[in-house]
Amino acid sequence: MSITSEAATSPPVAPTVWFLNGPNANLYGLDGNNVYGSDSFPTLQARCEAKARALGLSLHFVQSNWEGQLVDWIQEARGTAAGIIINAAGLTYTSVPILDALLSFPGRIIEVHMSNIWRRESFRHHSYISKAADGVIAGLGGDGYEFAIEAVARLIRV
Ligand code: DHK
């Protein structure tokens, strides 16, 4: 008779990561605005979900035009998620509530932007989100979204 421990037989639990997208991200790729590249939002989501699967992460990829919804998701991630990736879009430059929610999150945080925000208008040069972020990725379009998933995977495994 062999005794097999629970740990030896159960598949490893995939760490959970939330990927939060802010206002108007759902319009990416639809308006011919090359600042955000040609990937549609569903294409970006599919790319991110494939990358997360390959890295053994369970990804919640979500978008809202509402600041409070983003705050609610960050609070929901507390205690259940190992990491958050966030593109707060236009709320990046205004939202103390999102910053405060992120500061209360105990896991790792990556801030991401499709465009290089420092090459754009000066009102996009100061991010409230960065104070809570372990790292920032900007200007690399959909590739940057995949790099953000790789970055958070490394951070939560150290
Ligand atoms: C996305 C937006 O929607 C803008 O409001 C930000 C960011 C930049 C991005 O590059 O992903 O200014």
Q: What is the CATH number for 61?
A: 3.40.50.9100
Residues with CB under 6 A from ligand 1: 24, 87, 89-90, 113-115, 117, 124
In a domain, 116, yes or no: yes
In a domain, 30, yes or no: yes
Ligand 1 atom at minimal distance to the Cα of residue 139: 10
Structural domain that includes position 68: 11-156
Do 119 and 139 meet the contact criterion of CB atoms below 8 Å apart?
A: yes
Ligand 1 atom at minimal distance to the Cα of residue 35: 10
Total of domains in the chain? 1
What pLDDT does 143 receive?
96
In percent, the amount of the chain with pLDDT more than 70 equals 93
What is the whole-number distance in angstroms between the Cα of residue 115 and the centre of ligand 1? 7
Tokens of 6: 């629970």
The pTM for the full model equals 0.92
What is the whole-number distance in angstroms between the Cα of residue 47 and the centre of ligand 1? 19
Ligand 1 atom 6 nearest Cα: 89
Task: Kindly write down the DSSP assignment for every residue of the chain, as one continuous string.
Answer: -----HHHHSPPPPPEEEEEE-TTGGGTTTS--GGG-S--HHHHHHHHHHHHHHTT-EEEEEE-S-HHHHHHHHHHHTTT-SEEEEE-GGGGGT-HHHHHHHHT--SEEEEEESS-GGGS-GGGS--SGGGG-SEEEES-HHHHHHHHHHHHHHHHT-
Catalytic residue numbers read: 36, 113
Question: Which of the four pLDDT bands, split at 50, 70 and 90, describes residue 33?
Answer: low
Residue-wise pLDDT tens digits, 37-53: 888 999 999 999 999 99
In a domain, 66, yes or no: yes
